[in-house]
Structure 1
């Protein structure tokens, strides 16, 4: 039986998180980055995000198998009730429910911070290929997100053009 734990990310986790993310950068069009950040860059990203938002990970039997975080949706003050979410699960740990657990915890923490709108920026193919499918979109739909925008051929990776969608979930009362 697995022992599952969700906790805040520490800077000492940067190497492991960079390792998980590196797979997506090098082998998929899920991330539109071309070069995987190293441990130092990842530490800087973690430190920057944690100043204002939660950055959490999930452990299975003491080993980090995924992480999720929220970040500023837009720098202007009127958007302060919004957050953009990101999530990455180790490739061999998918379909275990870890993504749902991470997002539920992230949403609970964001509600306490007064966040009302959640957004996700997701790469999608016109036709699924070996680098990108619709799994991320379907995952977000399953958690109550709705597609609110489609950008055509805006990301180029592996000599192919990919679309990008914005998905939204309202989690609070807009008074």
Structure 2
């Protein structure tokens, strides 16, 4: 790695670069089960929707965007409000440089400030041995970040002429109480990004 990774809040203007990071994951791998990469405009709309309530982060290295992370609603029922689904993508060619960890650490910090208690990751995994489009590297990364495996669904995703499995992993980041306060929308949290 030639410089220091800087994590900051995403801006809608980042959508084109972020869509470019995501595109090869869609076209060349089974890491995502999408078949068609979103356009920059579609990507920007996804970002807007997320940023209404949750943090959306990017990682910069030598002035270029090299990764991003965000969360979304886990389920659309109010009893699930304290749980989120997380996503992290690192630009190809930058694996193992600490970018994913930097993004995850900041994301977890900001989610704690919101009052989120459970972080979930939905991860595509091979049905058996690793192949050229999918490994269990993401599972191992999340294990290293403190997640535990809570379930595996078999042959539930079909891409590139092959069937793949999907796992759910979970990390508890807060105290579960009987008088649980509501989760605060990220734009309204008292802890600002600059203070983190």
How high is the TM-score relative to the length of structure 1?
Answer: 0.98
Aligned-residue offset at 1:5: 1.2
1:16-68 CA distances to partner (integer Å, 9 max, x unpaired)? 00000001000100000000001000000000000010000000011100000
Give the length in aligned residue pairs: 175
Query: Partner of 2:154 in structure 1?
Result: 152
Q: Distance in 2 between matches of 1:26 and 1:34?
A: 7
Aligned-residue offset at 1:3: 3.4
SS in 2 for 1:122: strand
1:74-107 CA distances to partner (integer Å, 9 max, x unpaired)? 1100000001000000011110011001000000
The 5 Å alignment of 1:1-175 reads 2-126=3-127, 127-175=129-177
Unmatched tracts of structure 2, length 5 or more: 178-196
Regions of 4+ moved over 2 Å: none
Q: Distance in 1 between matches of 2:6 and 2:140?
A: 25
Indicate the RMSD between aligned Cα atoms, in angstroms: 0.7
Larger radius of gyration: 2
Unmatched tracts of structure 1, length 5 or more: none
